[in-house]
Amino acid sequence: RALLINGKRVLIKGVNRHEHDQYTAKTLSTDSMVEDIRLMKQHNFNAVRTCHYPNDERFYELCDRYGLYVMDEANIETHANYDSICRDERWASCFLERVQRMVRRDFNHPSVIIWSLGNESGYGHNQDSCAGWLRRYDPDRPIHYEGANRPEWAQGPHTLSSLKRGRFATDIIAPMYPAISLIEAWDHSTESSEDDRPLIMCEYSHAMGNSNGSLGDYWRTIRASRGIQGGFIWDWVDQGILVDENNKIIGFRETEEVEREGGRSWRYGGDFGDQPTDYDFCLNGLLFPDRTCKPAMAECLKVQQSIQIYSDRPSRGLFRLVNEQDFTALDNVILRYTIFSEAETGQIEGEVDLPSLAPGASHDFVVEELQTQEVRQLMLGGESFITFEILLSKKTDWADEGHMIAWQQFILSPPLKRAFPVPQAYVQKTEDGHCTVETKAYEAAINSDGLLSSLRFVGQQELLKAPLTVNLYRCPTENDGIKTLTTNTDLPEFAFYHENKAFGPWLTNRLSDLRLALLSVIVEDGQVCTRHRIENPDSLQLGLFTQHIVFSSDRLHYSCSFSLSNALKEYPKVGLACELDRSWSACRYFGLGPHENYPDRCDGARFGDYHATVDELYVPYIVPQDHGERTEVRRLDLYDGDTGGVQLRCDEPFAFALHRYSIEELWQKKHADELQRCSSHHLYLDAAVRGVGTATCGPDTLEKYRVPAGVYRLSFTIASSH
């Protein structure tokens, strides 16, 4: 049960590619095609599907030269007439002629390994006639047609029984956007044991906006399977068109462009008065229209890498490197490592000598540095790591010397539990219910609502522009729910875009406008304990929020818990939020990075000590939405740019985001370049956050990455970072 290339079972690490240019739409230059191929190979893609039409002839020549497998697809798609035209004999010659033209033109390109009969056009005798001609004309290449594995259009998505259909029209079982549970069930089913066809997903992991959740889960399933052989991510590049300040299409690369506040001025469906339209359903790419990478590309590089490093006990320094490349020996790489600790005690770097490894071969090696006293001392200082990077030692046609093709990170020692002495400060409570604290290190206040409302360390500016309060909401991603039609609910498409989306209950229950009802305040011995009821403006009780703040002479010890009710089945996130003055515009953190990551999209992120400005934390998704989350954070420093900073340190990992736009601003605008900064920056400290999933056209976030009702806790200290 395998697709074999030169006798080997090759995992298809593919992407669907529409021909698109931000200036000239469907007219592409050769340089643009080369850029696409180089970026694909740099991020460990080995295959491309020409969705949903044969591409420019030059593209195949370039794939031959650079080395990409191609699924060549005929320009057949009947969609709105899904189950009719495919069975209408009057259309039979139209189907066949399109397949014949494609095959005859592209037959001699070695990069073409699969012929595709088209896309989403039902299944009938018109496809069978194409397959019959093609099997006689080219008996050596397999045929793909997803529609042959799908039930009738009205009967819903793929099922185990539908996957075994269509053996004459397709040599590959090629579902679109299957749940991981479905392909796992297929791999272990009786049906799959009786079917000699491999399962290769022709479309999966829909890259619309902040997306591609569970890519790592898909690839763990693929690598552990008997007959699942990879797939093609949907899709390559956002099909946005660049416009000028008058909303006119620029059309030429030489035209001077204006960079606006939130990003470049890209427009999409409906922006040109075009109807009917699918609005932002053309913005499904792993790349922005200018070919800059979205954060999800780092995930692709990691989960698709063909060089792996394993270790059962990394602290002993014993490792195994495996060359999983199919046909290439490992002789153009450098293996480097870095050993470091969260305790900021410096880092140790080194290099491992590697032999030339044949495809499929492995090599055991020892990092002797891990046995030295210096490293042992570093490991005793706190959580420590070793990170390996495999880099090109020589320039290739698709990447420069030093390009990273694979990496692996191991934890060497666990974090230390830090106990700080707590000489408590005096808390003064006023008649109007305020509490104030003043020490040699800082001044703080709790307002009459029981919330921390002021914190200023000596020599620094005020940290809090608005109180630290509960937050259970985020600006919906496009997977949470499409927002482009919210201002025109009379359109018939409205139900399609919002039915069964996660953010429906969030909006219905007004999570964006929480209220806290203060139930109790206890002040004693330098401590303030409060208890609040969390509710929405309609008095729907969402849970309880308790705070315990201990004021010591040099820092605050802050802990809180959230007991969320089952009034909602699940929540977008649970944590705290506050506003900061815009002077607080940079941060340093120890956690997963350096790019944006979420619970179900963090395989491509690694632990490290990172510094970023609020501008660098921003991701300019064309349709504004939630962005910039960092997870598994141990330490967060905030800097005001002039006088210093404060440090939040936590023994239990948390997540954070620092935004230059409010949730309301992100929600109200349809284009990134229309965003306007307010007078504040917005800090979110999260005990839990929902994954991003891939639900615009695929499975929703897996249950294990959701935020159900229950108890959540957040605890940290706040001190000056001088």
| Residue 597, CA distances (Å) to 170, 296, 297, 600, 617 in order | 37, 8, 11, 8, 11
DSSP string, 390-446: EEESS--SSS-TT-EEEEEEEEEEPPPPP-----BPPEEE-TTS-EEEE-SSEEEEE
* Residue 86 backbone phi and psi in degrees, to 5: -65, -15
Of 256, 238, 359, nearest to 293 by C-alpha is 238
- Contact predicate 607/592, CB 8 Å: yes
d(CA 142, CA 69): 13
User: Residue 78 contacts by C-beta under 8 Å, 6 or more apart in sequence?
Assistant: 84, 85, 86, 120, 121, 122
User: Tokens 């003055």 label which residue?
Assistant: 581
Q: DSSP assignment, residue 104?
A: H
User: Could you tell me which residues are beta bridge partners of residue 546?
Assistant: 531, 561
Between vectors from CA 249 to CA 245 and to CA 253, what angle results, nearest 5°? 95
Q: How far apart are CA 72 and CA 118, in angstroms?
A: 9
Q: Which residues of 57-76 are buried (b: 16+ CB within 10 A; e: fewer)?
A: eebbebbeebbbbbbbbbeb
Per the listing, tokens 């008065």 go with 273
Give per-residue burial for 553-573: e unless 16+ CB within 10 Å, then b: ebbbbbbbbbebeebbebbbb
Distance CA 484, CA 491 (A): 11
AA letter at 71: M
What six digits make up the tokens of 230?
A: 């990879």
Kindly tell me the sign of the dihedral angle through the C-alpha atoms of 257, 262, 267, 271.
negative
Distance CA 586, CA 35 (A): 33
> How far, in Å, CA of 657 to CA of 686, rounded?
8
Q: How far apart are the C-alpha atoms of 68 and 62, rounded to whole Å?
A: 9
CA distance linking residue 435 with residue 258, whole number of Å: 49
Q: How far apart are CA 675 and CA 221, in angstroms?
A: 40
Query: By C-alpha distance, which of 333, 297, 315, 305 is closest to 408?
Result: 305
Torsion angle, alpha carbons of 271, 673, 206, 215, to 10: 180
Burial of 258 (0-12, 13-18, 19+ CB in 10 A): exposed
Cα distance between residue 621 and residue 672, in whole Å: 7
Residues belonging to the active site: 120, 203
